A = this chain, B = another copy of it.
Amino acid sequence: MTDFETHPDQYNHWKLSVDGPIARLVMSVAEERPHQVGVSHSAMGAAPGQAELRPQTPTAPTYRLKLNSYDLGVDIELADAVQRLRFEHPGVKVVVVSSAISNVFCAGANILMLAASTHPFKVNFCKYTNDTRCSIEDASAGSGQRWIAALGGTASGGGYELALACDDIVLIDDGNSAVSLPEVPLLGVLPGTGGLTRLVDKRKIRRDLADVFSTTAEGCKAKKALEWKLVDATFPRSKFEQAITDRAARAAQAPSNKDGARGIRLSPLAPKVSADRIEYRHVSLEIDAAKRLATLTLRGPQEPAPASVAALHELASESWSLRAMRELDDALCKLRFDFPEIGLVLLKTTGDMDRVLAWSDFLATHRDDWLVQEIALHTARTLRRLDGMAKSLFALATPGSCFGGVLLEAALACDRVYMLNDSNRPVELGISAINDGHLPMQTGLTRLQARLLAEPERAAKLAKEPGKLDTDAAMSAGLVTVAPDEIDWEDDVRLAIEERVSMSPDALTGMEASLRFCGPETTDSKIYGRLTAWQNWIFTRPNATGEHGALKLYGQPERPKFDWRRT
């Protein structure tokens, strides 16, 4: 089982230090430590010697993470650092990302690892690293952090894509160091972490210059990189460190409502893992491998909503809102990487609706507090991870469920919502102030807006009228797909499940991506929707991954052979 939990004390590849408002994140990848998937001892209750360890990419030859190239293990640590900086160090206003290796910032994703891994792993790896890049941009936009990429050496491929996720890219002007996206010319694939979209849509680099850049393996050195706006500034070696220090210090002057705030510690989730079940405090994930079916149950809060912001700070990472969403996020990552054959996730909730709504309202009401703000932003990110699952999602609302507020969003992220229609056993959906724009999708829409795209006024009205809706009301509000009565429920749901898991997984992924992200597009949604689709396609083509494909042959003397037909 892939372990997505880590802690700065355990990092192999990054050094995180915090000095007042300025954090430094130094990439120092340990060559000899490629990612291993370990079944953690405590979770399995196994003695250390019994722990099963297999390389993340089973068919891979051992690879070395040379030149700050990265694999999943490196990115899990980066994601952890991004997250902890926000919760544990709210006073940080500037994050400087740099490299411990001279002349090299980062060589991007490790090619040997990619070439040897399965198609599903490649796609999930790219999605995970995209999520991490988006979380950096979310920290800039939502938490007022300024991320500075201090490129003291060459940043190629994923290395430059990491820089593209930062606000400020500074490249050393030493006659050698360059930024580059060599994937197309060298590997026959696309930059896998949003690079092309960030070039033209985020940085708005001229598309013809982006074309030249993305087809030039050696990339651009300082002068041209600055001229083409691929970087924001360049400095000679003698002035580089000082320039970074100055830029960081200047950005650290920015006003903040978090000055003096005391961070909270993110406690370990440490779920109990068995072969067919992952059990967290508020989340359970049950796997039925034979049916290719997972059941994800989210439990509502045991305790009432905090009486005050101070009370929330007291609860800190044990608060239901934060802990439940961290658990959900962890479960989603495991679902992606460790259960590729699961085709359908049934989403259930149990608990007290009023408490869920009270917690949700609390988040919406107190967003001027930094911790509430961070929890709301984290909730939004987790829900976007749910939107982006390459699995079918059905929500099942039955008596005892509590799809309200934050958990209503989870239901609305699903492809379908089934709700029991039985006057003897009532079920409700609940709307809270949190549903009114606090938890946007990648497209910028709320999930109510996406669901009611034809009726924006109705979506707006619903969002402004918090309360509970019984099955009839929820049906007429347009929030429910099917509402079988007590006689039909079992058969209807069973048949829908059986049908869904019998369909082509590829067609379902393409269909769901097309239907879920209706409406407008943003840089984020273009990365996930359009670029991922192209990437998915290109990864499966013999020109990239066939026996004579460019990715497959990378580093070998043989030249790739292409089927030249353009499609």
Residue of B nearest to A564 (CB): B341
Residue A428, interface by CB 8 Å: no
A476 to chain B, nearest CB (A): 12
A71 to chain B, nearest CB (A): 18
Interface positions, chain A 196-247, Cβ under 8 Å from B, are: 196-197, 199-201, 203-212, 214-215, 229
A212 touches B537 (CB 8 A): no
| Known contacts A205-B454, A518-B207, A500 near B215 by CB under 8 Å | yes
Interface positions, chain A 542-567, Cβ under 8 Å from B, are: 543-544, 550, 560, 562-567
Residue A66, interface by CB 8 Å: no
A226 to chain B, nearest CB (A): 14
| Known contacts A454-B204, A504-B188, A209 near B481 by CB under 8 Å | yes
B183 touches A507 (CB 8 A): yes
A120 touches B566 (CB 8 A): yes
A270 to B391, CA, bound (A): 51
Contacts of A499 in B (CB 8 A): 185, 215
A contact residues, total (Cβ < 8 Å): 91
Q: Mark A164-177, 1 if CB is under 8 A from B, else 0.
A: 00000000000000
A196 touches B481 (CB 8 A): no
Contacts of A526 in B (CB 8 A): 521
B185 touches A503 (CB 8 A): yes
B534 touches A510 (CB 8 A): yes
A515 to B563, CA, bound (A): 23
| Known contacts A206-B454, A515-B199, A212 near B566 by CB under 8 Å | no
Residue A123, interface by CB 8 Å: yes
A506 touches B544 (CB 8 A): yes
Contacts of A214 in B (CB 8 A): 511, 515
B340 touches A505 (CB 8 A): no
In this complex, the member of A500, A516, A562 whose beta carbon has the largest number of chain B beta carbons within 10 angstroms is A562
B514 touches A190 (CB 8 A): yes
Q: Which of A131-139, A300-308, A445-453 contacts B (4 or more CB under 8 A)?
A: A445-453
Contact partner, A530, options B199, B481, B533, B544, Cβ 8 Å:
B533
Contacts of A343 in B (CB 8 A): 564, 566
A190 to B536, CA, bound (A): 15
B518 touches A521 (CB 8 A): no
A565 to B124, CA, bound (A): 11
A566 touches B507 (CB 8 A): no
Contact partner, A481, options B211, B391, B416, B531, Cβ 8 Å:
B211
A481 to B452, CA, bound (A): 44
Contact partner, A567, options B120, B562, B563, B566, Cβ 8 Å:
B120
A451 to B516, CA, bound (A): 30
Contacts of A534 in B (CB 8 A): 509-510, 513-514, 533, 536-537
Contact partner, A537, options B391, B540, B550, Cβ 8 Å:
B540
Contacts of A184 in B (CB 8 A): 503-504, 507-508, 511
A390 touches B511 (CB 8 A): no
A414 to B215, CA, bound (A): 15
Residue A20, interface by CB 8 Å: no
A550 to B507, CA, bound (A): 10
Contact partner, A507, options B203, B206, B210, B538, Cβ 8 Å:
B538
| Known contacts A123-B567, A200-B515, A562-B504, A510 near B190 by CB under 8 Å | yes
B514 touches A200 (CB 8 A): yes
A200 to B205, CA, bound (A): 31
Q: Mark A462-501, 1 if CB is under 8 A from B, else 0.
A: 0000000000000000100110000000000000000110
If A207-B415, A214-B515, A533-B534 are given as contacts, then 7 extra A-B residue pairs at C-beta distance below 8 Å, sorted by A number, are A120-B565, A200-B518, A206-B453, A209-B481, A214-B511, A513-B530, A540-B540
Binding site for B on A (CB under 8 A): 118-120, 123-124, 183-185, 187-190, 196-197, 199-201, 203-212, 214-215, 229, 292, 340-343, 390-391, 414-417, 450-454, 478, 481-482, 499-500, 503-516, 518-521, 526, 529-531, 533-538, 540-541, 543-544, 550, 560, 562-567
4 closest A-B pairs by CB: A188-B504, A537-B537, A510-B534, A533-B533
Can you identify 22 A-B contacts, CB atoms within 8 angstroms? A124-B567, A184-B503, A187-B507, A188-B507, A190-B510, A196-B511, A208-B451, A211-B415, A211-B512, A212-B482, A215-B500, A215-B503, A215-B511, A390-B566, A504-B560, A505-B564, A505-B566, A509-B566, A513-B530, A514-B530, A520-B521, A537-B537
